[in-house]
Amino acid sequence: MLKTTSAHCAVELIGQQSDIAVVLTDQRMPQMTGEELLATIEGQSDAQRIMVTGFADLQSVIRAVNTGKLFAYVTKPWDPADLRQKVERAAEQFRMSRQLTTDRQLLHDLLNHSPDGIYFKDRDLRFVEANRAFWSMLGLENRTQLLGKHLDEIVADAALTEDVEREEQTVLRQRSAALDTIREYPQPLSGARWLAETRAPINSPEHVVVGLVGVARDVTDRLNAQR
C-alpha cells in the first residue's frame, strides 16, 4: 500500500507506478479536490478510483460517476468493513481489466503472426474477424472486404458456399464438435487454392453457442507435390 498526504505527490506517485490497482482519495483536500485529482490522472493510470466524500460533495461525485472516473464512493463517516470491501472489489476489477487487455494482445499477436488463416463467424455465419493470412487466401486485398459478410458474398461458387455453410450449421448445432475438411477455393487471379480447415463452435460463459472459429491452411503446394 502506498499513501501520501499531498494530491500533487499522489499524481507523481501514480505516474511512476503503473501497477497501482486502486486510488482512494478524499474529495476535499488542500490545493486540489479529489475530482480534480482523478481528472489529472486520466490517461496516466488504469487504476480503479474510489472517492471519500461528505453529503455536500455529492454533485462532485455524480460528475465523477458520469464521466466514468469513479468505481465507487464512500460517504463520511465511513464503515471500515464497507470501505475494505469496496477496495477489494476495485482491485479485483483492475486485475480482470488487466487480464482482458493481456488476452486481447495475445489474440492480436496470434492473428498477426500466424501463418495459418484464422477467422471468426457469428451465429448467422457472418465474418466478424479474420487475420491477413486468411483474407489473402481468399484473394482479398484487406479485411474490410470480408467483415460482416457471408461466404457467398465473397466466393462466387454457390455449390461450394452452400456446402460450407451447411457444415458450419452442423458445427453450431453439435456445440462441441470440431470439423476438419480439405476443399478447393476458386480465386480469379491466382487460380484455385486448396484449404485444409478446422472449425469449432465458440461458447459464451453461459454455455450458449455464439459463433465459430476456423483455422485454415493452404495445402495447395503439398497436394500438387503428392500428385
Give the sheet arrangement for strand 193-203, strand by strand. 127-130, 117-122, 209-218, 193-203, 179-185
Residues 138 and 210 in one domain: yes
- CATH label of the domain that carries residue 125: 3.30.450.20
- The number of distinct structural domains making up the chain is 2
Query: How high is the pLDDT of residue 120?
Result: 95
Q: Note whether residue 2 is domain-resident.
A: no
Give the model confidence (pLDDT) of 150-195 as tens digits: 999 998 889 999 999 999 999 998 876 778 899 888 876 667 889 9
pLDDT, mean of residues 118-122: 95
Q: Is residue 136 located within the same domain as residue 168?
A: yes
**Do residues 19 and 81 both lie within one domain?**
yes
Residues 121 and 93 in one domain: no
Residue 213 lies in a domain: yes
Which DSSP helix (H) or strand (E) runs through 117? strand 117-122
1 occurs within a structural domain: no
* Helix, strand, coil fractions of the chain, as percent rounded to 5: 45, 25, 35
Indicate if the pLDDT at residue 201 is higher than 80: yes
Question: What is the pairing mode between strands 48-53 and 22-26?
Answer: parallel
Give a yes or no: residue 108 inside a domain.
no
Task: Name which of 78, 15, 75, 73 is nearest 47 in CA terms.
Answer: 15
Question: What mean pLDDT, rounded, does the chain reach?
Answer: 87
pTM for this one?
0.63
Out of 76, 103, 130, a domain closes at: 103
pLDDT of residue 152: 93
Range of the domain at 195: 114-226
DSSP 3-state assignment of 38?
A: helix
Asked whether the bond before 115 is cis by omega within 30 degrees of 0, the reply is no
